[in-house]
């Protein structure tokens, strides 16, 4: 039996899969957009949220120092799992918080930069705090603490403000952007910046 044809327009014929990378603070609306994306995208995509990787870990108590090591390893493994899925030709929606500088550096080292659609998921502080209170399953102040770092690199392919647009509208904008994404991509530009070019 022959292999199913690879989708045109989404991966541009490249052997690697496309990575739609949603970056924003906790409660900014990343998962909600990812759910909508998977509903409307025409090609097969996998949603890989960082939370799913934390949820796979055993639940035992750990000393803070050991926990820090285990968490660091989890994030590094998550980045490599994304790269691995994409390397095998799978399209991926990533739902991640770049709240520490090394995380972006690690992703820049690992992902094929022309295959990444880097999406800034923004939401004003007051609305983040309101959502945190309403959902009750995140520590109060978590999103506000992450705000300082998450968007500091300042370069995206596309950005959305989830206080002004519903998750479905953000997903539709991202989907419509895919066939027209310009080069260099945000990841290509960030790599050039990293390399001092």
Give the C-alpha separation, 39 to 45, whole Å. 10
Query: With respect to ligand ATP, which residue has the nearer C-beta, 16 or 29?
Result: 29
Give the C-alpha separation, 145 to 97, whole Å. 12
16 binds ligand ATP (CB under 6 A): no
According to CB under 6 A, which one of 6, 31, 114, 188 is a site residue for ligand ATP?
A: 31
Query: With respect to ligand ATP, which residue has the nearer C-beta, 51 or 159?
Result: 51
27 binds ligand ATP (CB under 6 A): yes
103 binds ligand ATP (CB under 6 A): no
Give the C-alpha separation, 114 to 118, whole Å. 10
Give the C-alpha separation, 90 to 122, whole Å. 27
The 40-79 site mask, x for binding ligand ATP (CB under 6 A), equals -----------x----------------------------
Shortest distance, CB of residue 191 to ligand ATP, whole angstroms?
26
Query: Closest residue to ligand ATP, Cβ-based?
Result: 29
- In the structure encoding, which two tokens stand for residue 170, read together? 């953000």
Phi and psi based region of residue 93 (left: phi greater than 0; alpha: psi -120 to 50; beta: remaining): beta
């Amino acid at each position: 039996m022959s292999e199913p044809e690879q989708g045109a327009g989404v991966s541009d014929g490249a052997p690697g899969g496309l990575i739609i990378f949603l970056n924003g603070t906790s409660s900014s609306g990343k998962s909600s957009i990812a759910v909508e994306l998977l509903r409307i995208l025409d090609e097969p995509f996998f949603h890989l949220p960082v939370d799913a990787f934390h949820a796979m870990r055993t639940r035992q108590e750990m000393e803070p120092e050991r926990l820090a090591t285990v968490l660091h390893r989890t994030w590094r493994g998550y980045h490599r799992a994304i790269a691995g899925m994409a390397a095998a030709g799978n399209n991926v929606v990533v739902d991640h918080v770049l709240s520490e500088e090394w995380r972006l550096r690690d992703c820049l080292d690992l992902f094929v930069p022309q295959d990444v659609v880097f999406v800034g998921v923004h939401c004003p502080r007051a609305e983040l705090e309101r959502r945190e209170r309403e959902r009750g399953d995140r520590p109060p102040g978590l999103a506000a603490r992450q705000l300082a770092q998450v968007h500091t690199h300042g370069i995206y392919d596309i950005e959305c403000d989830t206080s002004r647009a519903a998750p479905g509208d953000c997903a539709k904008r991202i989907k419509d952007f895919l066939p027209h994404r310009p080069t260099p991509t945000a990841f290509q530009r960030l790599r050039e910046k990293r390399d001092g070019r």
